[in-house]
Amino acid sequence: MYRLGQKEIDEVGRVINARRMFRVGDPKDGHLQECVRFEKEWAKTIGVKRSLLLSGGGTAALMAGLAGMGIGPGDEVIVPGYTFMATAAAALMVGAIPVIAEINETMTLDPRDVARKIGPRTRAIIPVHICGIPADMKKLTALARRRGIKVLEDCCQADGGSFKGRRLGSWGDAGAFSFNDYKIMSAGEGGALATDDDEIYERASIYSDSGAAFRAYAGKFTMPIFIGFQFRATEIEGAILRMQLQRLGGILADLRRIRARFVSALEGKPGIRFAPSNDPKGDCGVVAAFQFACEAEARAFAGAGGVGGWLPIDSGKHVYSNWDPVLKHRAGHHPGMNPYLMPRNRKLRLKYAPDMCPRTLDILKRTVFVSLNPDWKAAQVRARIEACRKAAASL
């Protein structure tokens, strides 16, 4: 639902005219520093010291975040059962084992189930702010601190959102963002890591640049340089995202205004119950989330004329029971690189079952999302609200 226009076209033109598309370069030589400038602006927006722009998307940002925390074989990482599979895949890509936990009715990671599932080998949890809905970062960070484990926020669907007045991505030890084509800000693909922690930043930087050993700034790293991936962003991505960032406040304000209109017009009306929210003000407003007593009611509401609703249970790749490569232990391109077969992971919790998070499946079946569009006119918002009111009243 990002907005895009002439500003992005002009900035891409500037980069092309400068003939400097590689992110590393000297400003004295006409290099525009678009990636570096975006990283500074993004870190400031999120309210942390450092950010790292990556070409490999939110997946790369999650991987770099976990790698930055030093997580690998022998470690378990708790992820919610409702998220894109990439959240769990990122744990596997660094050699760790994802442990799947329940969500609660807020649609985000249930702190009580996380507390139950933290084991002796758990090193991190990844709360996911799915559909821009903030997870309970107070409870989750307090729990993690008590148990001595790290928190990596998956903010891939919540660029710019907040919880209790602080931006998502600044609550945990690090936050991972996506700028793919379905997000609030986009460069088609891309992602970013944000963190206050110098060590996480440094290890993530080395992990994300296969040429790190040969950079002019290599001497500034405090740790020995190891072999990394190639997740470097291009100057074109940096330039587009700097303009996208200028649009962020406007999109969020419009989405939040529309969501607030839904709530004020419909709350308390017959048949209507909104999903409870950890922080309605911080919610990005990507969806209006309704909950019902059973799946049949949810389906009747979603399919009623003019509602345009959808059930999260139908979103396929976001429901853990559909994560076949995870459930069937197909990770790594080579058996030796498959974390499920690694000797250091032998004693970890490797067993999954499609019904292992029954509460998550139940909630996903009786929730309806209505996706909101920041560019809806007032009459379109009114028509949607009226359709929801009518559909709920006739259940």
Minimum CB distance to ligand PLP smaller for 184 or for 361: 184
Based on the shown chain and the rule CB under 6 A, indicate whether residue 191 belongs to the binding site for ligand PLP.
yes
Scanning 52-60, 236-244, 328-336, 370-378 for contacts with ligand PLP by CB under 6 A, the matching segment is 52-60
Look up residue 9 and give its two tokens: 């076209």
Minimum CB distance to ligand PLP smaller for 109 or for 212: 109
Exactly one of 38, 42, 84, 301 binds ligand PLP (CB under 6 A); which one?
84
Based on the shown chain and the rule CB under 6 A, indicate whether residue 244 belongs to the binding site for ligand PLP.
no
Scanning 54-62, 103-111, 236-244, 364-372 for contacts with ligand PLP by CB under 6 A, the matching segment is 54-62
Q: How far is the CB of 97 from ligand PLP (least distance, A)?
A: 18
Based on the shown chain and the rule CB under 6 A, indicate whether residue 98 belongs to the binding site for ligand PLP.
no
Exactly one of 58, 169, 175, 271 binds ligand PLP (CB under 6 A); which one?
58
Minimum CB distance to ligand PLP smaller for 178 or for 244: 178
Q: How far is the CB of 212 from ligand PLP (least distance, A)?
A: 21
Contacts of residue 70, Cβ cutoff 8 Å, sequence gap at least 6? 203
Based on the shown chain and the rule CB under 6 A, indicate whether residue 159 belongs to the binding site for ligand PLP.
no
Minimum CB distance to ligand PLP smaller for 130 or for 392: 130
Based on the shown chain and the rule CB under 6 A, indicate whether residue 174 belongs to the binding site for ligand PLP.
no
Based on the shown chain and the rule CB under 6 A, indicate whether residue 170 belongs to the binding site for ligand PLP.
no
Q: How far is the CB of 53 from ligand PLP (least distance, A)?
A: 12
Q: How far is the CB of 270 from ligand PLP (least distance, A)?
A: 34
Scanning 15-23, 176-184, 251-259, 357-365 for contacts with ligand PLP by CB under 6 A, the matching segment is 176-184
Based on the shown chain and the rule CB under 6 A, indicate whether residue 42 belongs to the binding site for ligand PLP.
no
Exactly one of 55, 122, 157, 278 binds ligand PLP (CB under 6 A); which one?
157
Minimum CB distance to ligand PLP smaller for 25 or for 367: 367
Q: How far is the CB of 344 from ligand PLP (least distance, A)?
A: 25
Scanning 41-49, 178-186, 272-280, 340-348 for contacts with ligand PLP by CB under 6 A, the matching segment is 178-186
Give me the phi and psi of 78, to 5 degrees please: -85, 130
Exactly one of 45, 83, 141, 186 binds ligand PLP (CB under 6 A); which one?
83
Exactly one of 86, 194, 239, 342 binds ligand PLP (CB under 6 A); which one?
86
Based on the shown chain and the rule CB under 6 A, indicate whether residue 339 belongs to the binding site for ligand PLP.
no
Contacts of residue 277, Cβ cutoff 8 Å, sequence gap at least 6? 106, 133, 134, 283
3-class secondary structure per residue, the chain: CCCCCHHHHHHHHHHHHHCCCCCCCCHHHCCCCHHHHHHHHHHHHHCCCEEEEECCHHHHHHHHHHHHCCCCCCCEEEEECECCCHHHHHHHHCCCEEEEECECCCCCECHHHHHHHCCCCEEEECCECHHHCCCCHHHHHHHHHHHCCEEEEECCCCCCCEECCEECCCCCCEEEEECCCCCCCCCCCCEEEEECCHHHHHHHHHHCECCHHHCCCHHHCCCCCCCCCECECCHHHHHHHHHHHHHHHHHHHHHHHHHHHHHHHHCCCCCCCECCCCCCCCCCCCEEEEECCCHHHHHHHHHCCCCCEECHHHHHHHEHHHCHHHHCCCCCCCHHHCHHHCHHHCCCCCCCCCCCCHHHHHHHHCEEEEECCCCCCHHHHHHHHHHHHHHHHCC
Contacts of residue 48, Cβ cutoff 8 Å, sequence gap at least 6? 169, 170, 175, 194, 195, 196
User: Would you tell me which residues interact with ligand PLP (CB under 6 A)?
Assistant: 57-59, 83-84, 86-87, 128, 130, 154, 156-157, 178, 180, 182, 191
